[in-house]
Amino acid sequence: MRRLLVAGNWKMHGDVTMTTELVEGVAAKVVSMSEGKDLSYEVLVCPPSIYLSKAVDVAGRALSEIKVGAQNVSEHSHGAYTGEISLPMLSEIGCGYVLLGHSERRQYYGETNESVAKKFAACTAFGDVVPVLCVGESLAEREAGLTEQVVENQIQAVLDLVGIEGFGKKYLQNTKNAVIAYEPVWAIGTGKTATPEQAQEVHAFIREMLASLDRGIADSTQILYGGSVKPSNALELFAQKDIDGGLIGGASLEIESFSEICKAAQKLAES
């Protein structure tokens, strides 16, 4: 049974005060909603790299079940790569996840399917940080009927390097599958959202792509939807058969809105 995962991508927002207040505030809300019981879903926050240590520290004190992830990582473990951070560095400070290939990284910094796949392969080899592979199409690609082809190419680049086993929990020391986040680029920060049916269609396509290689891995891999998820649409999106939570952007920067999305996940997980 796949657990729902609510992940917040803070992008380039925040400071020390906000990091403390946001993590503490979300933790307090999550604890209150769960009424002291173990969480029936998962919560992840991905602040800017400079605040990762602070977020890990605050999360550990406020609620150990809130996980912390990075927004990017180098494919290299060490070396003369000015400005980069490595998987061993993330692991050492308690960071258990990393976003790979977010559309903004692809668009603004020239990341390609191949370069993203190399970072994913580094996660596979390292084994202690869960990769969250971001995939998705632009508006022009959707209108041209290329959604499935674009998404398939993005995932296939990873499969070419690590195989289907790279998505399975067997290679990870913490026995957690890799995560995939489908983020239609045309719905990020625009206020537009794929309908639940549109999102489900692509999620089902992704799961079947994995299932053609290994049904067990496909059935246990969380596939998140990322594209203007809000409290008003989270429940309907998360209720879809192959949508296992969300990669939340703007709404993750506010305690109330992010907590309401968590509430939707809890409601579904406990139903």
The pLDDT of residue 186: 86
Answer whether 229's CB lies under 8 Å from 261's CB: yes
* Helix H or strand E encompassing 247: strand 245-248
For the chain, the domain total comes to 1
In whole angstroms, give the CA distance from residue 134 to residue 227: 11
Residues with Cβ within 8 Å of residue 72, at least 6 apart in sequence: 49, 85, 98, 99, 100, 102, 105
The residue segments making up the domain with residue 153 are: 5-269
Query: Known catalytic residues?
Result: 102, 183
SS (H, E, C) 39-97: CCCEEEEECCHHHHHHHHHHHHHHCCCEEEEECCCCCCCCCCCCCCCCHHHHHHCCCCE
In whole angstroms, give the CA distance from residue 111 to residue 172: 25
Going by C-alpha positions, the residue among 155, 153, 178 that lies closest to residue 167 is: 178
The pLDDT of residue 174: 52
pLDDT in tens, the chain (271 residues): 799 999 999 999 999 999 999 999 999 999 999 887 889 999 999 999 999 999 999 999 887 789 999 999 999 999 999 999 999 999 999 999 999 999 999 999 999 999 999 999 999 999 999 999 999 999 889 989 999 999 999 999 999 999 999 999 655 555 689 999 999 998 877 767 789 999 999 999 999 999 999 999 999 999 999 988 999 999 999 999 999 999 999 999 999 999 999 999 999 999 8
In whole angstroms, give the CA distance from residue 115 to residue 100: 10
State the CATH number of the domain containing residue 108: 3.20.20.70
Q: Would strands 5-9 and 179-182 be described as parallel, antiparallel, or unpaired?
A: unpaired
Give the residue ranges of DSSP H helices in 163-254.
Answer: 196-211, 215-220, 234-238
- Beta bridge partners, 246, equal 6, 225
* Helix H or strand E encompassing 8: strand 5-9
Going by C-alpha positions, the residue among 93, 86, 44, 51 that lies closest to residue 69 is: 44
